[in-house]
A and B are shown apart, each in its own frame.
Chain A
Amino acid sequence: MPTRVPDLRETASQTAGPYVHIGLVPAATGIHVLDRTVTNVVVRPDTPGEHITIEGVVHDGEGMPVRDAVLESWQADASGRHAHPEDPSGSADIRGFGRMAADFGTGVYSLHTVKPGPVPGRDGVMQAPHISFWIVARGINVGLHTRLYFSDELERNAADPILASIGSPDRRKTLIADRTLRDGKPLYRFDIHLQGDRETVFFDI
């Protein structure tokens, strides 16, 4: 067996491919092997904070829905706490991790969660409430990181250092999810455009 000197540089990314659901969202393709999997429901009925739904479609450069996309979300709880040992603000009410599969027919994904509180940024500056998103699919070679901000947080968004780092105000808007009500419950619409005139801002984090 040939031996190798360990190469301590990050393992290279590859596309998740068209069958990513088997591994990440097995129930979406009718496989019931794993008992407990991550779903698109981040909240429990008794979770403190405002319960919200986020919905949207990932579009390709031709405006077509990406029906095989899988999205992941990572966020703080309603008090701005992350469920992670390095967050100094204490234990969080939710784990804050969600996973969404686009609908095979319509391309719509949805996330049921709680609106996060503001979290500290660098140098003591607070960040506006946001949810980190990660998108993988066939044709995407390296998972795409972006952030969702909330349309009803005008003041905090205006002071957010990450949004401010995006030069173009038009491009900042691609990260703002629009608040509406459906059946009296808050719904945020967050469409993602992989390419073209309305291209979403993606981050190198």
Chain B
Amino acid sequence: MAEQEASGRKPGAYFPRDRLRHPPAFTPGYKTSVTRSPQKPLVSLGQTLSEMTGPVFGHDELGPLDDDLIRNHAVSGDPIGERIIVHGHVMDENGRGLPGTLIEVWQANAGGRYRHTNDGYLAPLDPNFGGCGRCLTDDAGYYAFRTIKPGAYPWPNSTNSWRPAHIHFSIFGRAFCQRLITQLYFEGDPLIPLCPIAQTIPDPRAIDGLTARLDMNAAEPFDCLAYRFDIVLRGRRSTLFENRLAGN
């Protein structure tokens, strides 16, 4: 923003979403999508203020342990499992870091069990692990949180479907049209190519973009390993000219 204003340019419409980059709605290998996918084409909408604005969050809304899943549900000690840092940058398609962006994460525990009413998997809950957290990106768009590496788990799709280890990510950006939910996978996990959900994405490079890399440089020696996961949200045009969006 500051850079754009200094050069006299104004931020304009967001780039159209590249739907070939994303999974289609109807992906029969992932059975639940069959009855939950619209059959009619999406209606393309020229962006207005409604799409180019979105909620703004402040640090005062976050608690001191929101970004620390190792501690934020601890009752009698630390949770069991592989201690990791997950970190990276949130940027737009122009390569600009996005400051003040809310990231929310949720995940299973080390055994693949979620702390959720509807999860009946036999692997036990961890009394010291909740599995949810959130953070705001800093001025450079950087984020980090600390957690336990989640375990794989079975799910009722085919008779022997297992999800790769993954962490769910919810990201806001600056505008409602940038809103995104996705999943982080871990480098080298042999379940990724077998997963009907990961494979809803047609482009292998886009799946690779969801695969966090082991990042030894960010590990804390004798404490925890680290994974790097960068997130790219939609970019936007900028223009030297007044546009008519605001009704002038």
Asked whether any CB of chain A lies closer than 8 Å to the CB of B37, the reply is yes
On whether A14 and B177 interact (CB within 8 A), knowing A122-B244, A130-B50, the answer reads no
Interface of chain B residues 77 through 119 with chain A (CB within 8 A): 91, 93-95, 104-108, 114-119
Asked whether any CB of chain A lies closer than 8 Å to the CB of B124, the reply is no
CB-defined contacts of A30 to chain B, threshold 8 Å: 115, 117
CB-defined contacts of A141 to chain B, threshold 8 Å: 22-25, 27, 30, 33, 37, 200
Interface membership of chain B positions 1-38, coded 1 if the CB is closer than 8 angstroms to chain A and 0 otherwise: 00000000001000011110111110100101111111
B43–A203 touching, CB < 8 Å: yes
Asked whether any CB of chain A lies closer than 8 Å to the CB of B220, the reply is no
A140 to B200, CA, bound (A): 11
Asked whether any CB of chain B lies closer than 8 Å to the CB of A155, the reply is no
CB-defined contacts of A72 to chain B, threshold 8 Å: 179
On whether A204 and B43 interact (CB within 8 A), knowing A7-B232, A29-B116, the answer reads yes
Asked whether any CB of chain B lies closer than 8 Å to the CB of A184, the reply is no
Asked whether any CB of chain B lies closer than 8 Å to the CB of A82, the reply is yes
A14–B117 touching, CB < 8 Å: no
A61–B35 touching, CB < 8 Å: yes
Interface membership of chain A positions 74-97, coded 1 if the CB is closer than 8 angstroms to chain B and 0 otherwise: 111000001111111000000111
Asked whether any CB of chain A lies closer than 8 Å to the CB of B223, the reply is no
Interface membership of chain A positions 132-168, coded 1 if the CB is closer than 8 angstroms to chain B and 0 otherwise: 1010111111111101000000000000001001100
On whether A83 and B132 interact (CB within 8 A), knowing A10-B232, A13-B182, A23-B170, the answer reads no
Q: How large is the interface on B (under 10, 10 to 19, 20 to 34, 35 or more residues)?
A: 35 or more
A23–B179 touching, CB < 8 Å: no
Asked whether any CB of chain B lies closer than 8 Å to the CB of A47, the reply is no
Number of interface residues of A (CB under 8 A): 89
Measured CB to CB, the nearest residue on chain A to B230 is A6
CB-defined contacts of A165 to chain B, threshold 8 Å: 43, 45
Asked whether any CB of chain B lies closer than 8 Å to the CB of A186, the reply is no
Most central of B17, B37, B107 by chain A CB within 10 Å: B37
CB-defined contacts of A196 to chain B, threshold 8 Å: 39
CB-defined contacts of A169 to chain B, threshold 8 Å: none
CB-defined contacts of B33 to chain A, threshold 8 Å: 15, 139-141
B73–A13 touching, CB < 8 Å: no
A64 to B34, CA, bound (A): 13
Measured CB to CB, the nearest residue on chain B to A142 is B22
Asked whether any CB of chain A lies closer than 8 Å to the CB of B237, the reply is no
CB-defined contacts of B182 to chain A, threshold 8 Å: 11-14
Q: Which of A23, A124, A202 is B244 in contact with, Cβ under 8 Å? A: A124
Q: Which of B11, B203, B207 is A86 in contact with, Cβ under 8 Å? A: B11
Secondary structure type dominating chain A contacts: loop
Q: Which of B93, B176, B244 is A123 in contact with, Cβ under 8 Å? A: B244
Q: Which of A4, A33, A75, A138 is B72 in contact with, Cβ under 8 Å? A: A33
Asked whether any CB of chain B lies closer than 8 Å to the CB of A43, the reply is no
A104–B117 touching, CB < 8 Å: yes
Beyond A10-B234, A201-B40, 16 additional pairs, beta carbon < 8 A = A8-B232, A19-B106, A19-B114, A23-B134, A34-B66, A36-B62, A61-B36, A68-B118, A74-B53, A86-B11, A88-B246, A104-B118, A132-B51, A162-B45, A171-B40, A195-B37
A-B contacts, 23 of them at CB < 8 A, read A4-B213, A8-B91, A9-B232, A12-B22, A16-B170, A19-B119, A22-B116, A22-B132, A23-B105, A29-B115, A34-B66, A35-B63, A61-B37, A74-B50, A84-B55, A86-B53, A124-B244, A138-B36, A141-B24, A195-B36, A195-B37, A200-B38, A202-B42
The chain A residues found within 8 Å of chain B, CB to CB, are: 1-2, 4, 6-24, 26, 29-31, 33-36, 38, 60-62, 64, 66, 68, 72, 74-76, 82-88, 95-97, 104, 119-127, 130, 132, 134, 136-145, 147, 162, 165-166, 171, 194-196, 199-205
